[in-house]
Structure 1
Amino acid sequence: MQEDELDIRRRRARFRSWHRGTKETDVILGPFADAHVAGFGEAEIAAYERLLEEEDPDIYAWLTGTAPIPERVRGPVLDLLLAFKPYHHRP
């Protein structure tokens, strides 16, 4: 994959992270994307893009521990997101 295409996917993922439709998910995924997406390679960005296809209420429930996380979304990127503390990454 060309680096330009990967950069486009990274920028798109960052935008989608901040513009989810629910503020609760925006304030988690937006800072996470700002902190991590620029360093994602093709496999990581693909996994994150798949996560972004999920519904906001589901993502929020998984991240807050109010619903079990399905196997289809488990992996290193979700582990990184689960460990992410947005309040530690404010400018």
Structure 2
Amino acid sequence: MKPLSSQKSRKSWIYRHGYRVALLKDPSKLYFVCRHCYEHKYIDTGVKVYKTTLSTSLAQRHLELPKRSHGYSKLAVVAKPT
């Protein structure tokens, strides 16, 4: 389900490349689902779902992997072309 809109702090850059979801049973638990992995059905194994309630580091590491449609980093997103 889509999480409740009670997030007060700025969302992480990782959500530009995936989805922020919550459990129906407990909406306070947040997860990240990689958009590319979801669209290509890699998500069916359940491996590409990362818990981000406390930290986004696991999802960030997933996005930084050198594989197809990945290889993103925070520096690449923040950097502006000159």
The verdict on a shared fold, with TM-score over 0.5 as the criterion, is no
Higher helix residue share: 1
Which range, TM-score by smaller chain? 0.3 to 0.5
Could you tell me the TM-score, scaled by structure 1's length?
0.31
Could you tell me the TM-score, scaled by structure 2's length?
0.33
